[in-house]
């Protein structure tokens, strides 16, 4: 089951935590956190280490979910790729709905797809507590971000390494989470691009602590601390979790560096 939320004691959260993580009877949407609960949950778990499921063993998704939940990693990050907006093709809402049946830990769907609004209902029904869309796919995302919020789901906006933070600034009021890509989207295992770090600091300057800042790409020991110093709250980790036998130990190493460097910022 997911890590506890401390002071948040709503009925839906209590129901979520009362069920075993491996329960096969979970129905997508039945035990989801509301938007406000999800935001409190994420803030309570900063630094949030979010395993990037692109690197997991999809041949045994149930076991991967059990290992992640046993490691008490607080957020699943699902990279959805359509082979059009990005060159790679990954998975869609059906796989997320399948994962939802194995875990109650919150899910963030990162939609690296063209026309994300066209498929929004599919990801809402799949059981995502957060849905992140790309500014490059929706140049004027205000309406779609507000639509996500209207469904009581955390709204996220992602920007690629070459997109200036100034392009996102007019839309920060409509999103709860800004995802700064620190690699070019489409494939895992790329080298961290450190020139994106000022975007994280600038986002916090513009939107304040209300905005959660997430970083995705090349996050590992040696780079996660830089992101924490720049103001990141959520750290999407692929190889730095899944290349290790002990997910709990791998997550603890990342969390400790992020916490130490974040406190020094």
For residue 47, whether the previous peptide bond is cis, meaning omega lies within 30 degrees of 0, is: yes
**pLDDT, tens digit (0-9, with 9 covering 90-100), for 26-46:** 555 567 899 999 999 999 999
pLDDT of 180 strictly over 80:
yes
- 102-116: string of b/e by CB count within 10 Å (b at 16+)? bbbbbbbbbbbbbeb
- What's the pTM value of the predicted model, to 2 decimals? 0.89
Work out the percent of the chain whose per-residue pLDDT is above 90.
Answer: 75
pLDDT of 14 strictly over 50:
no
In whole angstroms, give the CA distance from residue 214 to residue 38: 15
pLDDT at 68: 96
**pLDDT, tens digit (0-9, with 9 covering 90-100), for 232-250:** 999 999 999 999 999 999 9
φ and ψ at residue 260, rounded to 5 degrees: -65, -45
Our answer to whether residue 79 is catalytic in this structure is: yes
Q: Which of 69, 108, 176, 216 is catalytic?
A: 216
What are the Cα distances from residue 221, in Å, to 73, 234, 237, 251, 258?
Answer: 16, 15, 10, 10, 9
The chain-wide mean pLDDT, for the chain, equals: 88
Over range 16-28, report the average pLDDT.
43
Tell me if 206 sits within 8 A of 174, measured CB to CB: no
Over range 84-112, report the average pLDDT.
88
Does residue 34 or residue 19 have the better pLDDT?
34
In whole angstroms, give the CA distance from residue 123 to residue 109: 8
The closest of 34, 258, 14 to 150, measured between CA atoms, is: 34
Our answer to whether residue 82 is catalytic in this structure is: no
Please tell me the least confidently modeled range out of 123-127, 186-190, 248-252.
186-190
pLDDT at 187: 63
Extract the tokens encoding 172. Answer: 């920060």
pLDDT at 17: 43
What are the Cα distances from residue 41, in Å, to 46, 81, 253, 265?
Answer: 9, 27, 21, 23
DSSP secondary structure string, 85-141? SSS-B---HHHHHHHHTT--S-EEEEEESSSGGGGHHHHHHHT-SEEEEETTT-SS-
pLDDT of 19 strictly over 50:
no
Element (H, E) at 51: strand 48-51
In whole angstroms, give the CA distance from residue 92 to residue 120: 11
Alpha-helical segments (H) within the chain: 11-18, 35-44, 61-70, 93-100, 120-126, 142-150, 165-168, 197-207, 224-230, 239-242, 247-264
Over range 139-158, report the average pLDDT.
98
> Which strands sit side by side in the sheet containing 177-181, from one edge to the other?
48-51, 234-237, 212-216, 177-181, 154-159, 130-134, 107-112, 76-81
Q: What is the DSSP letter of 180?
A: E
In whole angstroms, give the CA distance from residue 142 to residue 173: 9
pLDDT at 28: 55
Q: In this structure, which CATH number among 3.40.630.30, 3.30.70.20, 3.20.20.70, 3.40.50.300 belongs to the domain 11-264?
A: 3.20.20.70
Over range 5-23, report the average pLDDT.
41
């Amino acid at each position: 089951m997911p890590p506890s939320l401390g002071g948040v004691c709503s009925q839906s959260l209590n129901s979520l935590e009362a069920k075993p993580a491996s329960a096969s009877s979970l129905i997508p949407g039945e035990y989801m956190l509301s938007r406000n609960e999800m935001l409190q949950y994420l803030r309570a778990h900063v630094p949030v280490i979010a395993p990037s499921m692109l690197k997991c063993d999809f041949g045994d998704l149930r076991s991967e979910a059990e290992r992640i939940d046993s490691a008490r990693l607080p957020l699943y990050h699902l990279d959805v790729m359509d082979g059009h907006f990005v060159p790679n093709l990954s998975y869609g809402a059906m796989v997320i709905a399948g994962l939802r049946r194995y875990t109650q830990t919150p899910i963030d769907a990162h939609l690296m797809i063209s026309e994300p609004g066209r498929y929004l209902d599919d990801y809402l029904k799949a059981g995502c507590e957060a849905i992140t869309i790309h500014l490059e796919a929706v140049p004027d995302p205000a309406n779609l971000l507000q639509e996500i919020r209207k469904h009581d789901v955390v709204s996220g906006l992602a920007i690629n390494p070459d997109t200036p933070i100034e392009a996102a600034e007019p839309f920060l009021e409509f999103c709860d989470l800004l995802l700064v890509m620190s690699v070019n989207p489409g494939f895992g295992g790329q080298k961290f691009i450190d020139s994106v770090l000022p975007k994280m600091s600038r986002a916090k300057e513009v939107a304040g602590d209300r905005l959660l800042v997430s970083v995705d790409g090349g996050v590992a020991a040696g780079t996660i601390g830089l992101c924490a110093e720049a103001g990141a709250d959520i750290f999407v980790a692929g190889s730095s979790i899944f290349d290790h036998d002990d997910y709990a130990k791998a997550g603890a190493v990342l969390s400790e560096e992020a916490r130490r460097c974040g406190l020094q910022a």
